[in-house]
Structure 1
Amino acid sequence: MAKKKPANPIKEKEAVLDIQDYLKLKCERNYMLFVIGIATGYRAGDLVKLKVRDIKGALENGYFEILEGKKANSKNIRKENIKPRIVKVIHNLEVLLRKYIKNKKDYEYLFTSRKGKNKHITVDQVTRILKDAGDEFGLKNITAHSMRKTYAYSIYEQSGYNITLVKDMLGHRSIEETRRYIGLDKETYDKYSDSLNSLIRVS
């Protein structure tokens, strides 16, 4: 069985904006899912479980307190030792969230399934939504995890390539984990592999 390829971040700002426009035209729910994902770095499994009351709390506090499922479900970490990841509700996201939750009930899932408001969409559905959007713009290996990776890669670039800052904002334990997560090692290897083209004549 072929090894599953890891999700890619969406590195180009233009592509991120194109996907937003594409999703917005098709479905407001999917557009908001993508926007929250790239603005907060929520893991997809936690993102789909958000309820309207979670958003109201974040808007009131000015921050998301993200208790990530990967840590919460780990057998190696005591529950009382888990600290939430704190993420600022940035202005543009706040504007969109206030509009999106208007007239919604506190107990409703933010991203409801078509099967009913008491059910949320699945991570597999998120992957299908984003793969479709990625295909539209010729992007490869775009999945549910691409949102968090896009969040991380954007911070990496905007911070002047401060990998330590990205590690802290993702809640990773090591810089090596963060480098692997956003594909920096592969990016470097590919760059220097391509430099070998100068050694080969094709005509």
Structure 2
Amino acid sequence: MWNPKSASNSPKEGSIISVEPIRSRKHIDLIKKALADKPRDYALFVVGINTAYRASELLALTVGKVRHLQPGDTFTVREQKTSKKRDVTLNKAAYDALQALLTIMPDAADDVPIFNGRKGDKALTVSTLNRLVKEWCSWCNLPGNYGSHTLRKTWGYHQRVTFKRDLPEIMVALGHSSQRQTLHYLCIADSEIQDLFLQGEL
């Protein structure tokens, strides 16, 4: 079992901060297993890697917004960063995690944040989510820098690499303006360019 205080994957002072996706399904499963007895954190992680939400969008979810959702339901999110509207569809993994969390807060009012802090009535902050993700990745001894954007990047990375979805689809789902931006964001542009040379022999 990890010791969050003993590990740090923060970048050195003065360096450019760029967080990474969790590339290995094994590490995703390890984090899920470790969080299995913590419904809030488990749901935070699973919903984060299954919806492509930005951290602020994820933490803005309230009980009322998710209480009656079913797998396959689509709802519109207005991006705080760009003010654009983006559709998000709930899959079964995210649904199951949210339902497990809702069972421990049956009397919560609709306006209560689904991912609340210790006091129970205020949403977690992005900085807290950032710290939590760093801790979860440190538990798995993952090298590199991780943070709140890791959840969203993990979704995109696996859509592209694991599930072989087309880049234009992922670009739209992430709300990006270009495919180049998406490739750079998902930290896979360099590897794909290398593959062009290595696998494209004539």
Checking the alignment, whether the CA contact within 8 Å between 2:52 and 2:155 is kept in structure 1 is yes
Match of 2:138 among 126, 135, 138: 135
CA deviations 1:128-181 (Å, max 9, x no partner) are 111111111121211110000000011112442522221121111100110110
TM-score by length of 1: 0.80
Bigger radius of gyration: 1
Identity %: 25
Count of paired positions: 180
Q: Which residue of 2 aligns with 1:32?
A: 43
Residue of structure 2 aligned with 1:18, choices 26, 30, 45: 30
Candidates 165, 173, 178, aligned match of 1:174: 178
CA deviations on 1:81-128 (whole Å, 9 max, x unpaired) are: x3x2112211232233223223032121111111x2321111111111
Q: 1:68 aligns with which of 57, 74, 79?
A: 79
| CA gap 1:173/1:57 in 2 versus in 1, 3 angstroms | farther
Q: In 2, distance between residues paired with 1:15 and 1:60?
A: 25
Helix, strand or coil: the match of 2:82?
helix
Q: Is the Cα contact below 8 Å between 1:41 and 1:151 reproduced in 2?
A: yes
Aligned-partner Cα distance in 2 for 1:150–1:36: 11
- Aligned-pair Cα RMSD in Å: 2.2
**In 2, Cα distance between the equivalents of 1:161 and 1:137?**
27
Q: Aligned runs of 1:1-203 on 2, under 5 Å?
A: 2-25=14-37, 27-56=38-67, 58-59=69-70, 62-72=73-83, 82=84, 84-102=85-103, 103=106, 104-114=108-118, 116-139=119-142, 140-160=144-164, 162-187=166-191
Residue pair 2:60, 2:123 contacting (<8 A) in 1 also: yes
Residues in 2 aligned to 1:65 and 1:57: alpha-carbon distance in whole angstroms = 15
Say if 1:188 and 1:156 are closer, same or farther in 2 by CA, change over 3 A.
closer
Unpaired stretches in structure 2, ≥5 consecutive residues: 1-12
Distance 1:53-1:161 versus aligned 2 partners, 3 A rule: closer
* TM-score, length basis structure 2: 0.80
